[in-house]
Amino acid sequence: MKPTTVTLLLQSAREGNEDAAQRLWTSVYDEIRRIAQRAVNDEYGQNSLQATEIAHEAYLKLSGSESLEFESRSHLLATVARAIRRLLVDRARARNADKRGGELHRVLLDDILDKVSQKQPEILDLEIALEELEKVDPRYAKLVELRFFGGMTLEESAATMKVSLRTAAGDWAFAKAWLRRRLMKGLS
């Protein structure tokens, strides 16, 4: 991390003048950056965003948000998970819109099916499915957000959502099956 980049960034942030707060933010920022690094790595090169770029955006989104007060570490991580989800979705949408005939760039049906069953879903498809799942019960979508976008373990997610581990495990299996079905059906 280049100190100058961080300093500039922090200066532009809301209420970012105080040295102590800056330093605290540095740690928050680092955390987001690490998360973003992974996000880029695992997007199989489909996302043109660079790690630092995601981190900057996530940071700015966070610092610009209204209620910037964290109760706990898990609260912070949950917030970051949400920010990452938003970022990736926004970015994927923008990229699709940029390219003329964005649809053409979408991978072939076979590939998607393969991806859904073997690897990970395409981010925009997952977002659509997630939003639908949210309507079924926000708890399921939240769990997917924490785990898939936030990198939390099942135990951490359960603690964050204040449900038992057993409930979380059941929710997780259900959410996965539900999303998989939605993705398979939606694309066939």
Partner 1 sequence: MDGARDWFEKAREIPVEERSVWLRKHCTNGDIREEVEELLRFDLDDPFLEDPLVAPADRELTCSYRVSTPSTAKSFSSRYKLLQPIGEGGFGIVYMAEQTDPVRRRVAIKLLRWNTDSKSVIARFETERQALAMMDHPNIARIYDGGVNDDGVPFFVMELVNGVPITDFCDSNQLSTADRMRLLIVVCHAVQHAHQKGIIHRDLKPSNILVSLLDGTPIPKVIDFGIAKALHGPLTDKTLFTAFQQMIGTPEYMSPEQAETSILDADTRSDVFSLGVLAYELLTGTTPFDGHALRKLGFAEIQRTIREVDPPKPSDRVSTLGDQGAFKTSKQGINHSNMYKAFRGDLDWIVMKAMEKDRNRRYSSALSLAEDIRRWLENEPVEARPPSTVYRTAKFVRKHRTKVGIALILTLATILSAVGLGFGLSERQASAERQENAKIQNLQLQKMAVLEADNNRSLRYGNAMIAANQSFRNGRRATTMELLAECPEDKRGVEWNWLSYLASDRTVTILQGSKERAQSTLAYASTDHLLYSAGVDGMLRLWRTDTNQEQQSWRVCNEAILSIQIAENDGYCILATQSGQVILWDISKGQIVESTSLTVPASIVAISTDKNSHSMSIAAGCTDGEIFVWQSGLAKAPTRFVNAVQPFKGTIQSLEFSMDCSKLLAAGKGGVTLFDTISGGVIQQYGQYWSSYAARYAHDIGQIVVFGPPIVKVDATILSNPKLIAIPSTDIIAGNYVSHDHSLVIATSDQSFRRIDLDTGNQETLGYYHGTGIQQMVAADDGRSLAMIDDSGALKILHRNAYASPTTIAAFDCEVASLAALSSSQVFALSDRGEIVAWNANREEELERHEAHTEQGFSLALSSTGEQLVSNGLDQRLNVWSIDSHEATAGYDISWGARYIAMHDDGKHLAGPMPRDITTHVDAAFDVEASRNANLAFWNLETGRIERCFAGLTNWAMKLSFSADCQMLAAATISDGAVVWRLDSNEPIHFHVESLPQVDDVIFSRDNNYLFAAYHNGQVYVWNIAEKKVVRKMICHGDQISGILLTADGSRILTSSLSDKVLRVWDWQTGQNTAEIDSGLSGVSEMQFTDNEQSLILGGRDGRINRLKIATNKPVGLSESGR
CA distance 35 to 133: 24
Q: Which stretch binds partner 1 (CB under 8 A): 3-11, 22-30, 94-102?
A: 22-30
Site string for partner 1, 144-163 (x = CB under 8 A): x--xxxxxxx-xx-------
CA distance 48 to 60: 19
- When asked if residue 45 is in the footprint of partner 1 (CB under 8 A), the reply is yes
Cβ atoms within 10 Å, residue 82:
19
Residue among 3 and 45 whose Cβ is closer to partner 1: 45
CA distance 158 to 43: 26
Distance in Å, CB of 6 to partner 1, minimum: 14
How many residues touch partner 1 (CB under 8 A)?
67
Distance in Å, CB of 68 to partner 1, minimum: 6
Q: What's the token pair of residue 188? A: 């066939």
- When asked if residue 59 is in the footprint of partner 1 (CB under 8 A), the reply is no
Contacts with partner 1 in 64-103 (CB under 8 A)?
Answer: 68-77, 81, 84, 88
> Pick from 145, 154, 111: which is nearest to 126 by CA?
145
Angle at 178 between CA 176 and CA 179, to 5 degrees: 65
The b/e string for 116-152 (b: 16+ C-beta within 10 A; e otherwise) is: beeeebbbbbbbebbeebeeeeeebbbbbbbbbbbbb
Residue among 75 and 99 whose Cβ is closer to partner 1: 75
Site string for partner 1, 97-136 (x = CB under 8 A): -----------------x-xxxxxx--------------x
Residues that bind partner 1 (CB under 8 A): 15, 18-21, 23-28, 31, 34-39, 41-45, 68-77, 81, 84, 88, 114, 116-121, 136-137, 144, 147-153, 155-156, 165, 170-171, 173-174, 176-181, 184
